[in-house]
Amino acid sequence: FMAEVLAGTSTYGTLHVLPMLTIGGDVASLLEGPQPVKTVPSHFSAVNLASQRDVELVFGGEDERKFYIGTPLDMETKICLDLAELVKRSNGIFGKSGTGKTFLTRLLLIGMLQKGTAANLVFDMHSEYGWEGRSEEGRKVKALKQLFPSQVAVFTLDEESSRRRRVSTDFVVRIGYDEIEPEDIGLLRQTLNLTEASVQAVYQLYREFGNKRWIEATLELEDRDETRQLLTKLNIHDSTYRNLRRGLETIRRLPFLLPHAPDNPVRHILEYLDQGINVVLEFGRYTDITAYILVANLLTRRIHAQYRERMEKALGEDMAPPRPLVITIEEAHKFLNPEVASQTIFGTIAREMRKYNVTLLVIDQRPSGIDDEVMSQIGTKITCLLDNERDIDSVLAGVSGKSELKSVLSRLESRQQALIFGHAVPMPVVIRTREYGSAESYKDFISRPETEIRKQAEKDIEELWE
C-alpha cells in the first residue's frame, strides 16, 4: 500500500501548532486556571477542536468583571475581556482608517460603564461617543448617553453644533487664555510650526508678564520701540517673536477661548467623575488637531494633578483612593511621539501605569508614530488590520511569538475583526466583534446580570441608611 501511495500522487496538509497555555486535569490546576506553557505536548497527544467549555475555561464567562467583546472566527462562543485587569494599565486600539476602531472603542467604553470598573473621560474629536455615532456602513447608532442616560454627561466645546444635532448637553466648555501654560504651547510646536527658540521664548514671556496675562500681553504689543526693548531685555530674536506671535494668533482665533472663562471646566468634570458619571467632551466643528491637542492636554494635566493629590492624601490618611479614571484620546501619536512623549502629561500617565489611578485608552492608525517606551507600557492592545510594516512591528514589539502574530495580523479582514493580546486576556486571540446597532444589541448592553442588580440594590440600601 505504501509503495502505491509513494509512486502515485498524494495530498497532505500541515498543521502548525503553537502552544500557549496549559491546564492541568487535577482540582488544584483547575482552580489555578490556565498557565503559560513551558513545554511542547508529548508525542501522539490527542488533538481536538476547542469546545465552548474549553474557551470559557480559558477566557472565562461573562460576569461582573468580564465583558463579552466578540467571538472566535469559526465559533459562536463568547470571548470576554477582564475589565478589572484592563483598567490597571493604559491600553490601545490600533488599525488603519476604516477598520472599526471607533466601533471597538464604543464597545470597550460600554463594557466599563456596564461593569462599573472605572470612570471615563472621552475627548471625542468627531462627536461619535456621546449621543449618537455612525456605523462603518454609515448608519446612525446610539452612543453612550442614549444607552446609559444616568451614567453619562455630554460636555461640548461647540454649543451650536450640539444644538443642530439635537444633542442635550450638560455643560458648555470655555477656556481662558489665563489657563494656558507654556507646556500647552510646547506640545503644539508641530501643529503651529513653532521653532525651538519660539517655545523657549514662551517661558520667558510667561515669567515676564505673569501666568495670568502672558498671552494677552504678548499679543497686545503694538508699539515697535516697546516691543524692541522687551525683546532686547529678554534676548529674544525678532524672527522668533514673529514666529511665536503667528502661533498665538492661531490659538486666539479658536472660538471657545476667552480672555477669562466664566466657569472652571476641570471642576465640573471632576464633580461628575466623583459621582460615577462618565464625561464625553464633544469638539463639534472644532476638529482641527490644534484645538484637540490644546484642550485635551490642558484639561488632562489639571485633572491628573487633582488625582495625584487625592491619591497621596488617601495613602497618607488611610482613606479610600479615588475611583480609577480612563482617559480616551484619538490621534494618539500627536501626543505621544518620541519628540514630545517625555514632556507631555499623556507620556507621564502611560509610564506611571496606574500609580495615581489614571490610565489611557489610546486610539491611533499610526502606532509607529508613538514613542517605543510608551508602546511598551500599553497593557492590552486591540489591533485591527494594519498594512504598514513599521506599524505592525511597533504594535508587536516585545511580544512573545511575534512572527506568528504578524502573520495572523496580516490576514485580518478590513472590518469587524481584531487581534487582542495583553493583560486583559490570557492569550492572544482573533475575534469577530459582537454586533452593535440593532435593538437586540442595545438591549444586551443595558441589561445587567441578576447578581449585579442585587449588588447595586444592596449598595443603595446601605447608602439610604447611612
- Count of CB atoms within 10 A of residue 405's CB? 20
208's grid cell: 515676564
The pLDDT tens digits of the residues spanning 199-251 come to 999 999 999 888 778 998 888 888 788 889 999 999 999 999 999 999 999 99
Phi, psi (5° rounding) for residue 317? -110, 10
Do 329 and 423 fall within a single domain?
yes
Cβ(433)–Cβ(416) under 8 Å? yes
**Same structural domain for residues 165 and 216?**
no
Residues 6+ apart with CB under 8 A from 383: 93, 94, 95, 395, 409, 418, 419, 420
The helix/strand count (H/E) of the chain reads as: 21, 18
Q: What's the total number of domains in the chain?
A: 3
Which domain, by its residues, includes 48? Answer: 2-64
Domain-located, residue 453 = yes
* 440-454 average pLDDT score: 68
Asked whether the beta carbons of 126 and 414 are under 8 A apart, the reply is no
Tell me the one-letter amino acid at 315: L
What's residue 33's pLDDT? Answer: 75
Residues 168 and 196 in one domain: no
Residues 103 and 169 in one domain: yes
Instruction: Please give the Cα distance from 123 to 254 (Å, whole number).
Output: 17
Percent pLDDT > 70 in the chain is 93
Give domain status of residue 69, yes or no.
Answer: no
Q: What is the pLDDT of residue 282?
A: 95
Asked whether residue 215 is domain-assigned, the answer is yes
Residue 345 belongs to some domain of the structure: yes
Is there a single domain that holds both residue 289 and residue 357?
Answer: yes
Q: Quickly list H helices, 188-288.
A: 196-209, 214-219, 224-234, 238-252, 265-274
Buried b (16+ CB within 10 A) or exposed e, 366-393: bbbbbbeebbebbbbbbbbbbeeeebbe
Closest CA to 383 of 358, 359, 412: 412
| Beta carbons of 430 and 73 less than 8 angstroms apart | yes
- Is 73 a domain residue? no
Nearest to 218 by CA among 188, 176, 252: 252
DSSP conformation letters of 118-138:
-EEEEEETTS-SSSEEE-TTS
Residue 309 is assigned to a structural domain of this protein: yes
Q: Is residue 351 part of a domain?
A: yes
Residue 113 lies in a domain: yes
Quick one: average pLDDT of 397-411? 87
If asked whether residues 420 and 290 sit together in one domain, one would say yes
**pLDDT class of 458 with cuts at 50, 70, 90:** low
Q: What is the pLDDT of residues 356-383, one digit of tens each?
A: 999 999 999 999 999 999 999 999 999 9
Choose the most confident range, by mean pLDDT, from 10-24, 56-70, 108-122. Answer: 108-122
Entry pTM: 0.87
Same domain, 32 and 12: yes
Question: Is the domain of 356 the same as that of 411?
Answer: yes
Of 232, 257, 282, the residue at which a domain comes to its end is 257
pLDDT in tens, 295-337: 999 999 999 999 999 999 998 888 888 899 999 999 999 899 9
| Domain harbouring 407, CATH code | 3.40.50.300
Both 249 and 279 in a single domain? no
User: Are 123 and 166 contained in the same domain?
Assistant: yes
Question: Region 257-275: what's the mean pLDDT?
Answer: 92
> Do residues 12 and 147 share a domain?
no
Instruction: Give the count of alpha carbons within 13 A of 16, CB side only.
Output: 4
Verify that 90 and 41 share a domain, yes or no: no
